[in-house]
Amino acid sequence: MTVDGHDMTTDRADDSATSPSSVTGEPAATRPSARRPRRPSDHAPKKPWTLAIDVGGTGLKANVLDASGAMVANRVAVPTTYPCPPAKLLDDLAALVAPLPQAARVSVGFPGMVRNGRVLSAPHFVTTHGPGTRIDDELVKLWSCFDLAGALSTRLGKPTRVANDADVQGAAVVQGKGLELVVTLGTGIGTAFFYEGRLLPHLEFAHHPFLKGDTYNEVIGEGARKAVGNARWNKRVRRAVETLRALSFFDHCYVGGGNSKRIRGDLGVDVTIVDNSAGILGGIKLWDESHLGV
């Protein structure tokens, strides 16, 4: 599957996305959002380096990865602010990544339907004040078929690939065995399917009716979790996994995203909770054609 504008990255944002801006001049190691780079101690970072950006409805995160996937800098993160037309997101991302080391290429995970680097849906970014607020028709027009890969490539001066954020996260965690499903739990819900390690065409299960006519987003998104509490939300998550299991007969399911840390109880032996950092680490996989069905 082609996923960028140049031939062809839970999570939604986690709690660290509310940390101070990365452009304040504060040393990276002292920012609450910073993480220690996971650089191998016995050799220098391998080229090429990839700037990996994770766009979320709650926060924006980025880091630079070497060719092995090791982080070569401290991660930077800022909250997502609204309203957020394409031009504003480009400005915010350019400011976010300015302190990071120079990379040869860029990977972006975006929370919506993305095809050939163009945004076909941006459910969070067409709202006036963020997820769950009024949809603005003008923002819908601005985001419709917006060439995010091309615009970021021009803005950052680097070749850029963009895919749905669940697809990017999945590329970091799947094992390449049978049919694997990735579910991200955050501001909204993301899903991605891989078969024998290859990314399948993206399906937006988040907007499909799930319970009593409500969608997956409406039943197990962040807004629903806050409304019903963690206990009821966990029951809904278990039912969602059971439903997706019955629909797809997946061989294994990986659950990530910012709210995966809130899961309690057994989801089954064929389900694994994965670290939220996969939203960044999967960025390097967008440049590995063996994973992406191209």
Q: Residue 61 is part of a domain; what is its CATH number?
A: 3.30.420.40
Residues 115 and 243 in one domain: no
pLDDT band at 89 (very low <50, low <70, confident <90, very high): very high
Q: Structural domain tally of the chain?
A: 2
More confident residue, 261 or 39: 261
Rounded-to-integer distance, Cα 225 and Cα 9, Å: 26
Sheet holding 146-147, edge to edge: 114-115, 118-119, 146-147
**Token pair of 200 as six digits:** 């399948």
Residues 188 and 149 reside in one and the same domain:
no
Are 155 and 182 part of one and the same domain? no
Q: Residue 141 falls within a domain, yes or no?
A: yes
pLDDT value of position 6? 41
pLDDT of residue 22: 34
Q: In this predicted model, what pLDDT tens digit does every residue of 194-212 receive, in sequence order?
A: 999 999 998 888 889 999 9
Domain carrying residue 112: 15-167+281-287
DSSP notation for 5-18: SS-----S--GGGG
Provide the token pair at 185: 């739990």
Q: What share of the chain is helix, strand, coil (3-state, %, to 5)?
A: 30, 25, 45
**Mean pLDDT calculated for residue range 95-109:** 97
Q: What is the pTM of this model?
A: 0.80
- Between the alpha carbon of residue 28 and those of residues 34, 38, 75, 90, the distances in Å are 6, 15, 8, 22
| 163 plus 19 within the same structural domain | yes
Do 129 and 200 reside in the same domain of the chain?
Answer: no
Q: Are residues 104 and 230 in the same domain?
A: no
The fraction of the chain above a pLDDT of 70, given in percent, is 83
Question: Are 151 and 222 contained in the same domain?
Answer: no
Residue 259 maps to a domain: yes
The answer to whether 5 and 294 have CB atoms below 8 angstroms apart is no
Q: Which residue spans within the chain are E strands per DSSP?
A: 50-55, 59-65, 76-79, 105-110, 114-115, 118-119, 146-147, 160-164, 179-185, 189-195, 198-199, 209-211, 214-215, 252-256, 271-273
Q: What is the token pair recorded at 148?
A: 């995010």
User: Are residues 51 and 72 both part of a single domain?
Assistant: yes
Query: Average per-residue pLDDT in the chain?
Result: 85
293 lies in some domain: no
Phi, psi of 201 (to 5 degrees): -50, 140
Residue-by-residue DSSP string for 179-215: EEEEEEESSSEEEEEEETTEEPPP--GGGSEEETTEE
Sorted by sequence, the CB contacts under 8 Å of residue 117 that are 6+ apart come out as 3, 4, 5, 6, 8, 147, 148, 149, 150, 160, 161, 162
Asked whether residue 2 is assigned to any structural domain, the reply reads no
Q: Are residues 25 and 147 in the same domain?
A: yes
User: Helix or strand or coil: residue 270?
Assistant: coil
139 and 195 fall within a common domain: no
The reply to whether 89 and 208 lie within a common domain is no
Range with the poorest average pLDDT among 6-15, 54-63, 119-128, 165-174: 6-15
Same domain for 131 and 252? Answer: no
